[in-house]
């Protein structure tokens, strides 16, 4: 008996529901632009008051810089009335997040129906289990690929590093990448997986890739936050942190990218409230995930040529520092290679990226991986790359943007690596 295609897709959609408990129907993203100190102060006050009704996708930074706020339907009227009363320029940037999530689910289900049987569909998003199976299969079938379990999460999931090397005993310089440390940023894992595929399939046939692999070892942590990532598939598509229990709190999770020693606990750039999306944790390196990343870096101490933390969204290439508006001593060199990487990225499709230091170009972020790589481990070329887009979809970037995002990012990375 043939199963009608529509029925098949409906069944698949039910089987991969990513919002089993949290329904974002009617939630909007409001983009506000403060133009005075009083307006900025109001938004900062909102940001400091942890609530599930307001989620700052882009926190207040400075005057004339946009702020993106996910607003619960019950708070919409109050938020708009207050913004209007304070004469804060604002608009609805995303009209219905729930609809974006539903469209994403439908696309994932459709691609699964059409492309079943492939090792991995590079134009689709995948669960933690699917990604781990792909990495294991690659290590079993490709002689230049191996995997390493760097650590295990509180819920028992492995944090896996994929290694591409023609000779592990040669101790070649390392290009290091950690991806999806923030659970809801699915495009980051998808981009890293696409780059892994390009390197592993291109070695021996693509001269540029062959040269890059002959010179360097390439090491990727495609999902640096497995518990949080799994939770975005099972319960809450927009979850950001890991999933640890917090002492004396009903809230869960630590922002791993606020849990590193350099700048930890600075008054700006992280939160001491367990219910905040940027909760830094009880102390530096308190989390299994941050310790695993640290241990993987330490294992290659002295060999790491560049360390890239892949995030979304806002289309930026960022150097240290995150915790301070001061510039690193070597900022001129950092700026030089960022410019080369961004120019190559933009030349691909015309996607506009900006570049600069984390705190000055993005916002203050204390305890971030990039600062730790640079100041804590002495890796000069340590950067955060914020992938697509500029907020049209935000964290719910459609699957049809995976490949163009990955292609332009890879072009930028190749140019950057060759420029160091």
94 with 100: CB under 8 angstroms? Answer: yes
Identify which of 234, 239, 224 has the alpha carbon closest to the alpha carbon of residue 105.
234
Active-site position among 104, 175, 289, 386: 386
365 with 323: CB under 8 angstroms? Answer: yes
Instruction: Report how far apart the first and last C-alpha atoms of the chain are (Å, whole number).
Output: 60
- How many C-beta atoms surround the C-beta of residue 61 within 10 A? 19
Catalytic annotation present for 386: yes
79 with 29: CB under 8 angstroms? Answer: no
CA 419/CA 416 separation, integer angstroms: 5
365 with 386: CB under 8 angstroms? Answer: no
Residue 91 forms beta bridges with which residues? 31
Identify which of 203, 176, 230 has the alpha carbon closest to the alpha carbon of residue 373.
176
Residue 220 forms beta bridges with which residues? 162, 177
User: Which are the contacts of 201, defined by CB distance < 8 A and separation ≥ 6?
Assistant: none
327, with CB counted inside 10 A (0-12, 13-18, 19+), is middle
- How many C-beta atoms surround the C-beta of residue 6 within 10 A? 8
* Token couple for 99: 């609809």
Active site (catalytic) residues: 386
């Amino acid at each position: 008996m043939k199963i009608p295609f529509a029925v098949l897709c409906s069944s698949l959609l039910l089987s991969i529901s990513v919002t089993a408990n949290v329904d974002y129907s009617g939630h909007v993203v409001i983009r506000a632009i403060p133009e005075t100190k009083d307006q900025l102060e109001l938004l900062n006050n909102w940001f400091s008051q942890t609530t599930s009704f307001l989620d700052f996708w882009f926190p207040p930074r400075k005057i004339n810089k946009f702020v993106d706020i996910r607003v619960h339907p019950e708070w919409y009227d109050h938020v708009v009335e207050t913004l209007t009363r304070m004469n804060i320029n604002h608009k609805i940037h995303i009209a219905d997040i729930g609809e974006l999530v539903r469209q994403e689910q439908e696309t994932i289900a459709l691609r699964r129906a059409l492309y079943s049987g492939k090792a991995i569909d590079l134009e689709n998003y995948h669960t933690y289990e699917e990604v781990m199976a792909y990495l294991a299969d690659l290590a079993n079938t490709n002689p230049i690929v191996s995997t390493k379990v760097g650590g295990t999460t509180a819920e028992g999931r492995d944090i896996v590093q994929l290694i591409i090397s023609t000779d592990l005993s040669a101790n070649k310089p390392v290009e290091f990448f950690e991806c999806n440390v923030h659970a809801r940023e699915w495009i980051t894992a998808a981009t890293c997986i696409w780059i892994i595929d390009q390197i592993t399939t291109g070695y021996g046939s693509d001269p540029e890739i062959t040269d890059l692999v002959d010179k360097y070892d390439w090491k990727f942590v495609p999902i640096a936050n497995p518990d949080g990532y799994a939770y975005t598939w099972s319960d809450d598509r927009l979850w950001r942190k890991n999933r640890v229990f917090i002492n004396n709190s009903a809230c869960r999770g630590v922002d791993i990218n606020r849990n590193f020693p350099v700048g930890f606990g600075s008054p700006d750039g992280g939160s001491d409230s367990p219910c905040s999306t940027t909760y830094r944790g009880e102390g530096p390196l308190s989390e299994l995930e941050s310790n695993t990343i640290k241990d993987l870096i330490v294992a290659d101490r002295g060999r790491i040529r560049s360390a890239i933390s892949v995030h979304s969204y806002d289309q930026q290439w960022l150097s240290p520092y995150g915790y301070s508006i001061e510039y690193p001593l070597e900022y001129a060199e950092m700026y030089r290679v960022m410019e080369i990487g961004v120019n190559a990225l933009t030349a691909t499709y015309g996607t506009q990226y900006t570049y600069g230091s984390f705190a000055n170009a993005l916002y203050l972020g204390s305890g971030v991986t990039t600062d730790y790589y640079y100041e804590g481990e002495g890796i000069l070329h340590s950067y955060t790359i914020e992938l697509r887009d500029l907020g049209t979809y935000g964290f719910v970037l459609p699957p049809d943007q995976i490949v163009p995002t990955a292609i332009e990012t890879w072009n930028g990375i190749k140019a950057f690596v060759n420029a160091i």
